[in-house]
Amino acid sequence: MRLGRTLWKIVFVKLLIMFAVVKALFFPDVLHVNYQTDQERSEHVLERLTQVGSTAEKYVSTRVGTPN
């Protein structure tokens, strides 16, 4: 029983370390780097979320095509 708890603690610590490293390396805080204030960040996010002709729409229109 004691061995199992110790192994689960080791697994948990390893997962925490792995997620911290992955987050730090692959998911930088781009909004914090590129924009100075919360207002600028929120405007950028709102603009990106409400853009007309998003990439999803472009993808769907190219995949569907026109009937012959």
Q: pLDDT tens digits for 9-39?
A: 999 999 999 999 998 888 888 888 899 999 9
Three-state secondary structure string covering 8-64:
HHHHHHHHHHHHHHHHHHHCCCHHHHHCCCHHHHHHHHHHHHCCCCCHHHHHHHHHH
- Give the pLDDT confidence score for residue 25 in this predicted structure: 87
Q: What is the CA radius of gyration of the chain?
A: 22
Locate 63 and state its tokens. 């995949």
User: What DSSP character marks residue 4?
Assistant: H
Q: Is the pTM of this model over 0.85?
A: no
pLDDT, mean of residues 53-58: 62
Give me the pLDDT at residue 61, please: 58
The whole-angstrom separation of Cα 28 and Cα 45 is 16
